[in-house]
Amino acid sequence: MAGIYIHIPFCKQACNYCDFHFSTSLKNKDGFLIALKKEIELQKDYLSNETISTIYFGGGTPSLLSETELMSVFEMLHREFVIAPTAEITLEANPDDITKEKINELKHTPVNRLSMGIQSFFDEDLKLMNRAHTSKEAETAVKLSQDKGFENITIDLIYGIPTLSNQNWKHNLNTTFDLDVKHISAYCLTVEPKTALAHQIKTGKISNVDEQQSSEHFEMMLEEMNTHGFTQYEISNFCKPGFHSKHNSSYWLKENYLGLGPSAHSFNGTSRQWNISNNPLYIQALLKGEMNFEKEELTSNQRYNEYVLTSLRTMWGSDLGYIEKVFGIPYLTHCMAEARPYLESKKLLLKENKLFLSDQGKLFADKIASDLFLTQ
């Protein structure tokens, strides 16, 4: 089973922390859709006729697409791929796009899972991040979607925001629990280079992210999620039983996926490729029947490093038997030698021949994974 990711590179306004590829101008939207359908046709063999089990519309803001536009994409996908009848089909949506009319439109499409970028239920946080919606619109969007029959809804939250106190962070979590959503993705606010947020912090307009407060928010989140019956199946992702993201899990479990649209990445087990992050150039190439992308054949070290990085973040852990079988004894020996200090400090746990991050270790996940890497 494989997945398809579709990048919709348009937003109504720019969030100041975002470094994903997007444009706030919709003038190229029609040309983009024509190019996207051409890319679907050209890439129909990339997944070697594997059945498609997940489709994910990300961005950008996919909820800017109309029912007619979405259905034209689905028609092309069904023409070129075998899509499982039970496929998980996710669409990212901004709360300000969710109206009664929009939800009715989405119910007429194959979309069966909504991912809402709420981030916070406090207007001061939303204003700091330059989000387009209000806290009231956020709650209304979730309730409206549920009323119209969308049971599988995930909410994105951000912690570590300079204006977000511990008390308000707990309020955000409790508000989400009260809304009875089945999946929550929670990320620490990250200051990416060359973003508006980075500039605002550098010029003193906004306070920098406080690492101590972010750690406190993370620890509070683990406790609250556990209390409310959510399983942490990946460091930033929590769900009720049966509601994990099948699409995102396919990334972490190293399944094959095809990325469509400008800046989208694809992976087939041995190589990775990514489309150009430029809407006009993406469109121009495809209108000529060509593709504009870069490709990298992965070495054994790179494949091992990626496996450690992704698997260690999940509840399934890094399987030492898999490392030995796929990469060889030298890789296993290296992994265990580097893991030993973390096992002794209880940041890593060893169970059933698998390495897992402890709750304490999750605070240092990237550092631990990088220490297990092979760089030569």
Q: What is the CATH number of the domain that holds 325?
A: 1.10.10.920
Specify if 338 maps to a domain: yes
Tell me, yes or no, whether 34 and 143 share the same domain. Answer: yes
Task: Give me the mean pLDDT over the 131-136 stretch.
Answer: 96
Tell me, yes or no, whether 221 and 72 share the same domain. Answer: yes
Tell me, yes or no, whether 122 and 195 share the same domain. Answer: yes
Specify if 363 maps to a domain: yes
Tell me, yes or no, whether 247 and 326 share the same domain. Answer: no
Instruction: Give the closest residue to 258 by CA, choosing from 31, 7, 9.
Output: 7
Tell me, yes or no, whether 238 and 307 share the same domain. Answer: no
Instruction: Give the closest residue to 312 by CA, choosing from 254, 258, 273.
Output: 254
Q: Indicate if the pLDDT at residue 89 is higher than 80.
A: yes
Specify if 311 maps to a domain: yes
Q: Indicate if the pLDDT at residue 376 is higher than 90.
A: no
Q: In the chain, how many domains are there?
A: 2
How far is residue 180's CA from residue 165's CA, in Å, rounded to a whole number?
23
Tell me, yes or no, whether 9 and 102 share the same domain. Answer: yes
Task: Give me the mean pLDDT over the 29-41 stretch.
Answer: 98
How far is residue 239's CA from residue 149's CA, in Å, rounded to a whole number?
19
Query: For residues 121 and 170, is the Cβ–Cβ distance under 8 A?
Result: no
- Percentage of the chain lying above the pLDDT 90 cut: 99
Specify if 306 maps to a domain: yes
> Where does the pLDDT of residue 1 fall: very low under 50, low under 70, confident under 90, or very high at 90 and above?
confident
How far is residue 244's CA from residue 34's CA, in Å, rounded to a whole number?
33
Task: Give me the mean pLDDT over the 283-312 stretch.
Answer: 97
Specify if 17 maps to a domain: yes
List the alpha helices (DSSP H) in 148-278: 166-178, 196-202, 211-227, 246-252
Tell me, yes or no, whether 218 and 327 share the same domain. Answer: no
Owning domain of residue 307: 300-372
Q: Indicate if the pLDDT at residue 45 is higher than 90.
A: yes
Q: Which DSSP string corresponds to 59-72?
A: ES-GGGS-HHHHHH
Q: Indicate if the pLDDT at residue 316 is higher than 80.
A: yes
Specify if 63 maps to a domain: yes
Show which of 196, 225, 252 is a domain's final residue.
Answer: 252
Q: Indicate if the pLDDT at residue 160 is higher than 80.
A: yes
Q: Indicate if the pLDDT at residue 40 is higher than 90.
A: yes
Tell me, yes or no, whether 229 and 325 share the same domain. Answer: no
Specify if 280 maps to a domain: no
Query: For residues 170 and 223, is the Cβ–Cβ distance under 8 A?
Result: no
Q: Indicate if the pLDDT at residue 74 is higher than 90.
A: yes
Specify if 348 maps to a domain: yes
Helix (H, G, I), strand (E, B) or coil at 32: helix
How far is residue 187's CA from residue 202's CA, in Å, rounded to a whole number?
22
Q: What is the CATH number of the domain that holds 121?
A: 3.80.30.20
pLDDT tens, residue by residue, 192-223: 999 999 999 999 999 999 999 999 999 999 99
Tell me, yes or no, whether 27 and 106 share the same domain. Answer: yes
Show which of 252, 272, 292 is a domain's final residue.
Answer: 252
Tell me, yes or no, whether 53 and 189 share the same domain. Answer: yes
Tell me, yes or no, whether 99 and 171 share the same domain. Answer: yes
Tell me, yes or no, whether 139 and 39 share the same domain. Answer: yes
Strands 183-188, 237-239: parallel, antiparallel or unpaired by DSSP? antiparallel
pLDDT tens, residue by residue, 225-277: 999 999 999 999 999 999 999 999 999 999 999 999 999 999 999 999 999 99
Query: For residues 88 and 54, is the Cβ–Cβ distance under 8 A?
Result: yes
